Amino acid sequence: MAILGIPQNTINILKKYDFHFQKKYGQNFLIDTHVLEKIIAAASITKEDFVLEIGPGIGTMTQYLCENAGEVMAVEIDAKLIPVLEETLADYDNVTVVNEDILRMDIAEIAQEHNAGRPIKVVANLPYYITTPIIMELFESHVPLESVTVMVQKEVADRMQAGPGSKDYGALSLAVQYYSKAEVVANVPPNCFMPRPNVGSAVIRLACHESCPVEVQDEKLLFRIIRASFNQRRKTLQNGLGNDASLPVSKEMAARAIEMAGFPPAVRGEALTLEQFALLANVLGEIMKG
Ligand code: SAM
């Protein structure tokens, strides 16, 4: 089978199947072998690995994954791509293609069934319209993960790596820090894709922590606090927490927790580090118990 990362081969297969790109599925296929090699190298795929690929498209990166991994599962939402994948992946017996929406799949169960519950690697050129839900789902549903190496919009990569005080800092930055160590592996210009996206892209590798970097009694409460703080970014933390419908916390309780944690009364969520949010969650958790 011809290597798809070469533009002419991609054009040929798209023509053969009379394939039309679907904007609603975020279809921008990679056509640059250097970028593909970089992604595979950054994910350090070996024959020991079970790899989940989200959105294989016509199978361009899947071919590289099959060459390097022990087992690959590729989940593609677009039924029109399934016959294409049958052809482009015909040479490999270590791949399963599933026609499904990744957000409707139980990935922890897949890891259990296919990798005996051991940590899996996720590799993808993600559909940009659902990058954050996919990353949050992987983390929050406690899928056993070794690493997540993904192509994302450059701006999302910036948000993932941002710290307090930056305009990019938010709930995604804190979730990424809580669960992993992030490193941008490559910046990728629009001409590496077909069709070209309107934005710059970056490959980011999230190396997942074996144990969380902060001690927190109630992880769900931590993330509810974080979301509430950034939902109302302009407000002080006290008002943000006291006014959020998802948190059964009065303004007085929020004020008491902020004082007990040792933060100034008018502090804003965007100024707090992950460690400080964890401290606040532990203090507020105690106050909520009454
Ligand atoms: N991996 C291919 C490549 O690099 O050339 C395609 C990447 S393209 C940016 C994103 C792919 O994800 C498309 O094939 C699209 O159809 C698929 N996709 C979009 N939404 C999806 C979803 N909810 N679940 C699974 N796949 C999805």
What does residue 100 show for φ and ψ, rounded to 5 degrees?
A: -160, 160
Radius of gyration of the chain (CA): 21
Digits of tens for pLDDT over the chain (290 positions)?
677 888 999 999 999 999 999 999 999 999 999 999 999 999 999 999 999 999 999 999 999 999 999 999 999 999 999 999 999 999 999 999 999 999 999 999 999 999 999 999 999 999 999 999 999 999 998 899 999 999 999 999 999 999 998 999 999 999 999 999 999 999 999 999 999 999 999 999 999 999 889 999 999 999 999 999 998 878 899 999 998 888 999 999 999 999 999 999 999 999 999 999 999 999 999 999 97
- Kindly list the protein residues whose Cβ atom lies closer than 6 A to any atom of ligand 1: 25-30, 54-57, 60-61, 75-78, 101-103, 125, 127, 130
Protein residue whose Cα sits closest to atom 10 of ligand 1: 127
Helices and strands (H and E) in the chain: how many: 12, 9
CA distance 173 to 286: 26
CA distance 66 to 64: 5
CA distance 5 to 167: 36
- How far is ligand 1, taken at its centre, from the CA of residue 63, in Å? 15
Q: Of 136, 149, 67, 78, which Cα lies nearest the Cα of 107? A: 136
Q: Which pTM was predicted?
A: 0.95
DSSP one-letter code for 247: S
| H helices present in 33-79, as ranges | 33-42, 60-68
- How far is ligand 1, taken at its centre, from the CA of residue 86, in Å? 16
CA distance 241 to 247: 7
Q: Of 196, 21, 5, 191, which Cα lies nearest the Cα of 88? A: 5
State the pairing for strand pair 180-188/201-208: antiparallel
Handedness of CA 276, 135, 162, 37 (dihedral sign): positive
| Alpha-carbon separation of residue 22 from 25, 43, 148, 199 (angstroms) | 6, 28, 25, 17
Question: What residues does 98 pair with on adjacent strands?
Answer: 75
- Identity of the amino acid at 244: D
Residue in 4, 125, 153, 196 to alter for ligand 1 test, most ligand atoms within 8 A of Cβ:
125
Q: Of 140, 137, 277, which Cα lies nearest the Cα of 214? A: 277
Task: List the structure tokens of 88.
Answer: 């482009």
Protein residue whose Cα sits closest to atom 11 of ligand 1: 55
- Identity of the amino acid at 95: V
* Per-residue model confidence (pLDDT) at position 118: 95
Give the burial class of 205: count Cβ atoms within 10 A of its Cβ; 0-12 exposed, 13-18 middle, 19 or more buried.
buried
Protein residue whose Cα sits closest to atom 6 of ligand 1: 57
User: Are 53 and 72 in contact, with CB atoms under 8 Å apart?
Assistant: yes
Per-residue pLDDT tens over the stretch 199-256: 999 999 999 999 889 999 999 999 999 999 998 878 899 999 998 888 999 999 999 9
Task: List the structure tokens of 155.
Answer: 């701006």
CA distance 30 to 64: 12
- How far is ligand 1, taken at its centre, from the CA of residue 174, in Å? 26
